[in-house]
Amino acid sequence: MSLSKAEVENIAHLARLQLGDDELPNVIENLSRIIEFVDQLQAVDTTGVEPMAHPLDMVQRLRADAVTEQDQRDLYQANAPAVEAGLYLVPKVIE
The one-letter amino acid at 80: A
Q: What is the pLDDT of residue 17?
A: 94
Q: What pLDDT is attached to residue 14?
A: 96
**Residue-by-residue pLDDT tens, the chain, 95 positions:** 789 999 999 999 999 999 999 999 999 999 999 999 999 999 999 999 888 887 887 777 888 889 999 999 999 999 999 999 999 999 999 88
In a domain, residue 55? The reply is no
pLDDT at 61: 83
SS3 per residue for the chain: CCCCHHHHHHHHHHCCCCCCCCCHHHHHHHHHHHHHHHHHHHCCCCCCCCCCCCCCCCCCCCCCCCCCCCCCHHHHHCCCCCEECCEECCCCCCC
Tell me what pLDDT residue 57 has: 77
In a domain, 71, yes or no: no
> Structural domain tally of the chain?
1
Domain that holds residue 28: 5-43
Looking at residue 95, what is its pLDDT?
Answer: 80
Per-residue pLDDT, 5? 92
User: What CATH number is associated with residue 34?
Assistant: 1.10.20
Smallest CA-to-CA distance from 1 within 41, 42, 32, 44 is with: 32
Q: Which pLDDT does position 41 carry in this prediction?
A: 92
* 73 domain residue, yes or no: no
Q: Is residue 31 part of a domain?
A: yes
